[in-house]
């Protein structure tokens, strides 16, 4: 079974600085999708960014980018120019066959003014 591991339960960053959240996964498949979701306090979970495993180019969405290392099975999220609104729980997820997602444990990000 596929597993997703987020080894950082909590992270903090100063406003306007850059932070990187780690994620590793285990799979024997060669084609799959990876996601980062954000869950703000008392608000709905939303998609931040996604990556197709067959694409070597790292995905980027404005201030959010990923470092996808397929051989190492690593998928980290970089947030540049951090803002107070980035404070949230972040979940890494892997899409298994049949459209099922497996989630990591989550990383609670605090942004300090």
Partner 1 sequence: DVKVTQSSRYLVKRTGEKVFLECVQDMDHENMFWYRQDPGLGLRLIYFSYDVKMKEKGDIPEGYSVSREKKERFSLILESASTNQTSMYLCASSATGLTGANVLTFGAGSRLTVL
Which residues of the shown chain bind partner 1 in the complex (CB under 8 A)? 4, 6, 9, 33, 35, 37, 43-47, 50, 52, 91, 95, 98-106
The nearest distance, CB 77 to partner 1, in angstroms, is 15
Shortest Å distance, C-beta 10 to partner 1 = 11
What is the per-residue DSSP string for 7-43?
--SEEEEETTS-EEE--EEE-S-SS-EEEEEEE-TTS
**Least distance from partner 1 to the Cβ atom of residue 17, Å:** 26
Closer to partner 1 by CB, 41 or 85: give it.
41
Of the candidates 78, 90, 103, 101, which has an alpha carbon nearest to the alpha carbon of residue 32?
Answer: 101
Contact 11, 109 (CB under 8 A): yes
């Amino acid at each position: 079974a596929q597993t997703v591991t987020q080894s950082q339960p909590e992270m903090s960053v100063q406003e306007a600085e850059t932070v990187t959240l780690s994620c590793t996964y285990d799979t024997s498949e060669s084609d799959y999708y990876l996601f980062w979701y954000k869950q703000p306090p008392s608000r709905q979970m939303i998609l931040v960014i996604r990556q197709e495993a067959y694409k070597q180019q790292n995905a980027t969405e404005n201030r959010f980018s990923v470092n996808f290392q397929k051989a190492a099975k690593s998928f980290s999220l970089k947030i540049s120019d951090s803002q107070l609104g980035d404070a949230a729980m972040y979940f890494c997820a892997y899409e298994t066959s049949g459209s099922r997602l497996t989630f990591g444990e989550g990383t609670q990000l605090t942004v300090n003014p």
